[in-house]
Structures are given as structure tokens and as C-alpha cells.
Amino acid sequence: MGGLVPLGYDPHPDAEIRSLVVNPIEDETVTALFHLYDTFGALGAVAREADRLRLRSKRRIDKAGNQTGDRRFSNGQIHHLLRNPLYIGQIRHKDQLWHGQHPPIVGHDLRTRVQVRLDAASRRGRSQSTLGTPPTAMLAGKLRDECGDRLTPTHRVKGSRRHRYYVSNRLIAGGVDPTGWRLPAASLEQSIAAGLVNHLQTQAQTHALLSEPDASIAEALLARVMLLTDQLRAHPVEAAALITEVRLMRTSLRITCGSDPLADRIGVQSDNLAPAALAFDAPFSLRRRGVETRSVSGALTAARDPTLLKNLSAAHGWIRSLLVGTPISAINPKTGHAESHIRTRSQLAFLSPRLQAEILAGSLSPDLTLKRLLARSLPLDWDEQEKLCGLPPL
């Protein structure tokens, strides 16, 4: 009845019919935004992912030929779109909703889920959390276990730190299930990103990315893949845009990539990609299941333990202070730690050079956490330390 036609629709081609028809291209953008919010539950995360997928606002050309729109979505634009009842075939007049003459774009179930999450977000006061908004779970909606059960991102706050996890839905629903998974999110995300990096490099170096290898573009393709893998190493979260699903198995990760996003990043046609380039297995194992676990994949064995690194660095600082005559009682007020805390962790500075190098490289066994190191009575002999910590003899 006047005004700007919203994204997803066009005016009816018959000017006498005052209604809307679905725009077959823009309706995919609208649907994608609803699904993204259903997955991430945060406007900022949806905006970032929409930009990564190159979703854009409606392109408009006025009577003078001036173009507007076709831009990245802001958080406010996404919120307004998600709240608009137009997309389920309704129109709003004052404070009432009426059935419109136009066809819907999204289903009632999807829109209802989105409205529930939007309502919950609007009720969540800033004072409820001193840690800010939880980091976006890059694998939300893409992770399943060997039973086909989806893993849901969750978190818990302990002290001043937030710990993120992916948990099998059957564990969240209640009850005890020894087959359920509860994995630290950061290490799992890093594992999957690193597995993707290794796979892409191997495929490119062996000229196996394309169904029919093309020698004329092989060198350029390899260069683009290496550039992409460098970016993924620096920003593992970007792997999420390439991945459509990850299946957790007992000894491997089954990773499936989307043909269009991968082809776009490496500059080839999606139908030219080899099937083996899009779906592959990466080595994977766990130390425990049903409770918090540490994941180990062929690509992740070099994942460093930030807690262990932090304490090793602090231990060297404390020892330097002690060597110049500073008593522990003087160190204590500066660090805020109890004397017992400083005494127990200072012994990390006396680990063998080889063990310290392994900690820095992240190549120690994932089982060898700070807690387990401190619980052991570490001998002064470096060879004995290394043997106790599972390092093979030189």
C-alpha cells in the first residue's frame, strides 16, 4: 500500500493488484538470515556470517537512476527483518496482525524459534554477565556425533573465566549417557580448522582438488590454496564458512565442505571440484568421554595449553625475583596469589629444557595438564622428568 518494498519481495507485475510477489533471489537471503539467527542466536554473529556469505541488502534504483542498497547488513537491519511478520504472510496494522495476500517466505516454526531467541536476548540485562557476550561458536549447527545427535554449544563461568563446550543434545536433555560427548570448544575448533588446512594443502600439492587436473592453472591454484590456508591458520574461525558438517567418530573427524564457498575462495568453478576435496577424514581421538575431554587430531597435536604456558612464564618471573633476593612475601601482594600458589608453580621453571620446549610447541600429551604436572613429584634429574612425562629418550 505504498512505501519501500521489503527485501525478498517485488511489487506485483500487474499495477492494478496491490500486493507483493516473492523475489526468487532475495528470498534466499531472507531465509538464510533466519537460519543464521536460529543457529547463532546473536545479531553480531549473524551480521559477520552474512557478510562472509556475501548476503546484501535490497538493491534499489530510483526514478532518477540513483542506486541505493546492496550493502552489508547492520545488526539493526537484521533485527528489523527478523521481527517483520511480513515474512510469514502477515501484515501489521497498529498493534494487530492480519493475514496478507502475499505468499510467506519462511515457515512459522522457524520464525517462532527466532522470536523466542530474540525475546530472550532482549530480556537479558547487561548486569547478568560481567564477562560480556559469549564468543560465537563457529561450529554451531554443524557438529554431530557418531549417533547423528547434534552437539550444542554451551558454556560455564568459573571465576573470571568463561569455558566453552560442545555437548551432545542427549546430555543436555538430562540423564547419563556414556556415549555422549562434552568437548572443550576451543581445542575442537582448532582441531577441525587445522585438519582442513592440512587437507587442502595435501590436495593442492598432489593436484587432487579438481575432478580433472588442469596443468595450465596448477601453479596459480596452489598459490591461492596456500594463501587461504595461511589465513585459516591465522584466523581458524574462518573455517566455519567453508564447512557444512563435521561428524565425530571414534578415531576420526568426517569433515564436509560446501562446494560453493570453497570454490569461491580458491577461484575455481564449484562443479570442477573433486568429491574427495569436499569430504574427508581427519585423525581424531579422545582421552575421556561423557565428561570434559581433550581432543587430539593429527593436525592438533601442536595445540598449546594456554594455562600451562601462562604458569611456566610466571614461574620464570618468580624465580628471577627470588634470585635477586626478593622474598615470596613481597612477590605475593604484587601477583595476588597466595605463597603456596607461588611455591608450587615455581618448580615449573626447573623443568628440563626439552620439556619446556615441548610446552612452548604444544607437543606434549594432552593429558599432561598443569594440574597433573603439579600433582606429580617431579625429580630434579632432567632425564627422569622427561621419562615421567612420557617423552621418548633421545
Confidence of residue 286 (pLDDT cuts 50, 70, 90): low
Query: pLDDT tens digits for 8-66?
Result: 999 888 888 888 999 988 999 999 999 999 888 888 889 888 888 889 999 888 777 77
Q: What is the pLDDT of residue 196?
A: 93
Q: What is the pLDDT of residue 303?
A: 52
pTM (2 d.p.)? 0.46
Query: pLDDT tens digits for 336-378?
Result: 788 888 888 888 999 999 888 888 877 776 667 788 788 877 7
Q: What is the pLDDT of residue 252?
A: 85
Out of 26-35, 160-169, 269-278, 322-331, pick the least confident. Answer: 160-169
CA 174, CA 167: separation in Å to the nearest integer? 12
Confidence of residue 299 (pLDDT cuts 50, 70, 90): very low
Q: What is the pLDDT of residue 136?
A: 61
Confidence of residue 275 (pLDDT cuts 50, 70, 90): very high
Q: What is the pLDDT of residue 158?
A: 73
- Among 322, 384, 320, which Cα is nearest to 352's? 384
Confidence of residue 300 (pLDDT cuts 50, 70, 90): very low
Residue 334 has pLDDT above 60, yes or no: yes
Q: Which three cell numbers stand for residue 271?
A: 562443479
Residue 294 has pLDDT above 60, yes or no: no
Topology given in CATH for the domain delimited by 9-123:
Hect, E3 ligase catalytic domain fold (3.90.1750)
Q: Maximum Cα–Cα distance for the chain, whole Å?
A: 91
- Among 20, 13, 173, which Cα is nearest to 104's? 20
How far lies 321's CA from each of 121, 310, 325, 348, 374, in Å?
Answer: 48, 17, 7, 15, 21
If you average pLDDT over every residue of the chain, what do you get? Answer: 82
Q: What is the pLDDT of residue 103?
A: 92
129 or 176: whose pLDDT is higher? 176
Query: pLDDT tens digits for 81-127?
Result: 999 999 999 887 766 788 888 899 999 888 998 998 888 877 654 43
Average pLDDT of the segment spanning 139-166: 82
- Among 120, 119, 91, which Cα is nearest to 3's? 91
Per domain, the residue ranges of the chain are: 9-123, 134-299, 306-388
